[in-house]
Amino acid sequence: MDDHGEILARLRRPKLLIHAARFGQRDYRRDRDLRRILGVAEVPAPAAALAALIAQEAALETARQAGAAQYSFLHQVELLIAILAESRARRAQRDLKSEPSTPRTSACPALAPSCRASALPNTSATESEPEDAPRRDTFGIAAGVEFPPGT
């Protein structure tokens, strides 16, 4: 595990901060948000961005624990959102470098014709199912089945 991975593995923050950061990831836009958070004109590579974000977040965490007046919950959540997103981008970048350079026939291997039948569940009636059996969706739930409230 690299240095950033070890730091992220040891990162301990209140659940509310982590939940807010995970929720906010869907609205994260790297070009827009990283420039604003880091105050840079050019967006750095994920590794460099991650180092800067971790340093800023550590300073905010120290301020939070000390009860400092300049602490901003919002800014710490923004930093945690960016840290989670940049660590994901860095991991994806590293995975791309380690993949063999063989051409793919499809962006998703499960959609390739040779494995499509084995990757998707069988939703059609087979010889073992009677023709009047209820149709089932991809999760095996019969069509028209209603579940009691709260399940």
Structural contact between residues 51 and 4, judged by C-beta atoms closer than 8 angstroms: yes
Q: Provide the residue ranges of all domains of the chain, joining segments of one domain with +.
A: 3-98
Higher local confidence (pLDDT), 132 or 118: 132
CA distances from 127 to 106, 130, 131, 132 (A): 32, 7, 9, 12
Specify the 3-state DSSP secondary structure of 142.
Answer: strand
Higher local confidence (pLDDT), 8 or 86: 86
Distance CA 18, CA 33 (A): 18
Q: Encoding tokens for residue 103?
A: 């051409």
User: What percent of the chain has a predicted confidence (pLDDT) above 90?
Assistant: 19
State yes or no: pLDDT of 13 exceeds 80.
yes
Residue 4 confidence (pLDDT): 54
User: At a CB cut-off of 8 Å and minimum separation 6, what does 38 contact?
Assistant: 44, 49, 52, 53, 56
List residues bridging with 136 in a β-sheet: 142
Entry pTM: 0.58
Q: 55-103: per-residue pLDDT in tens?
A: 999 899 999 999 999 889 999 999 999 998 888 888 887 777 776 655 5
Q: 131-145: per-residue pLDDT in tens?
A: 666 665 555 555 555
